[in-house]
A = this chain, B = another copy of it.
Amino acid sequence: MKHIVILTENDLPTQWYNIIPDLPEPLPPPRDPKEGPSRVQNLPNLMIGECLKQEFSNENWIDIPGGILDLYLKAGRPRPLFRATNLEKRLDTPARLYYKGEFYSPTGSHKVNTALAQCWYAKQQGFERVTTETGAGQWGTALAYASAVTGLKCTVYWVRSVYNWKKDRLYFMKLLGADVHASPSPATEFGRSLYDKNHDHVGSLGIAISEGLEDSQKDPKATYALGSVLNHVLMHQTIIGLESQKQFEIFDDYPDLVISCLGGGSNFGGFALPFVGDVLKKGKKTKFLAAQSQVAPNLQGTYQYDFADYAEITPMLKMYTLGHKTDMLPIKGDGLRYHGCSPILSLLRHKGIIDTIAYPADERHVFENAQLFMETEGWLAAPESAYSICCAIDEALKCRETGEKKVIAFNISGHGFLDLPGYESVLGLRS
Chain A residues with CB under 8 Å of chain B are 2-9, 70, 73-76, 78, 80, 82, 85-86, 101, 104, 106, 108, 145, 148-149, 167-168, 170-172, 174-177, 371, 374-380, 415, 417-418, 420-421, 423-424, 427, 429-430
Instruction: Write the nearest CB–CB distance from A85 to chain B, whole angstroms.
Output: 7
Given the complex of chains A and B, what is the CA–CA distance between A174 and B3 in angstroms?
Answer: 26
CB within 8 A of A74: which of B78, B85, B371, B429? Answer: B85
Further pairs besides A149-B375, A170-B429, A175-B374: 10, Cβ < 8 Å: A4-B9, A4-B76, A7-B8, A74-B378, A106-B378, A108-B417, A148-B376, A168-B421, A175-B380, A176-B374
Taking a contact as CB atoms under 8 Å apart, the answer to whether A171 and B420 are in contact is yes
Instruction: Write the nearest CB–CB distance from A255 to chain B, whole angstroms.
Output: 20
Q: Decide: A421 near B171, CB < 8 A? Known: A9-B6, A375-B177.
A: yes
B residues within 8 A CB of A374? 148, 175-176
Residue of A375, A415, A421 with most chain B CB atoms under a 10 A cut-off: A375
Taking a contact as CB atoms under 8 Å apart, the answer to whether A6 and B78 are in contact is yes
B residues within 8 A CB of A145? 378
Given the complex of chains A and B, what is the CA–CA distance between A427 and B31 in angstroms?
Answer: 48
Given the complex of chains A and B, what is the CA–CA distance between A418 and B78 in angstroms?
Answer: 25
Taking a contact as CB atoms under 8 Å apart, the answer to whether A74 and B4 are in contact is yes
Instruction: Write the nearest CB–CB distance from A145 to chain B, whole angstroms.
Output: 6
Given the complex of chains A and B, what is the CA–CA distance between A374 and B175 in angstroms?
Answer: 8
Taking a contact as CB atoms under 8 Å apart, the answer to whether A423 and B175 are in contact is yes
B residues within 8 A CB of A70? 3
B residues within 8 A CB of A75? 378
- Return the 10 tightest CB-CB contacts between A and B, nearest first: A417-B417, A174-B429, A168-B420, A3-B73, A171-B420, A106-B378, A6-B8, A171-B429, A171-B424, A148-B375
Residue of A6, A170, A376, A421 with most chain B CB atoms under a 10 A cut-off: A6
Instruction: Write the nearest CB–CB distance from A329 to chain B, whole angstroms.
Output: 23
Taking a contact as CB atoms under 8 Å apart, the answer to whether A148 and B378 are in contact is yes
B residues within 8 A CB of A427? 175
Instruction: Write the nearest CB–CB distance from A196 to chain B, whole angstroms.
Output: 22
Taking a contact as CB atoms under 8 Å apart, the answer to whether B171 and A86 are in contact is no
Given the complex of chains A and B, what is the CA–CA distance between A148 and B376 in angstroms?
Answer: 7
Taking a contact as CB atoms under 8 Å apart, the answer to whether A86 and B380 are in contact is no
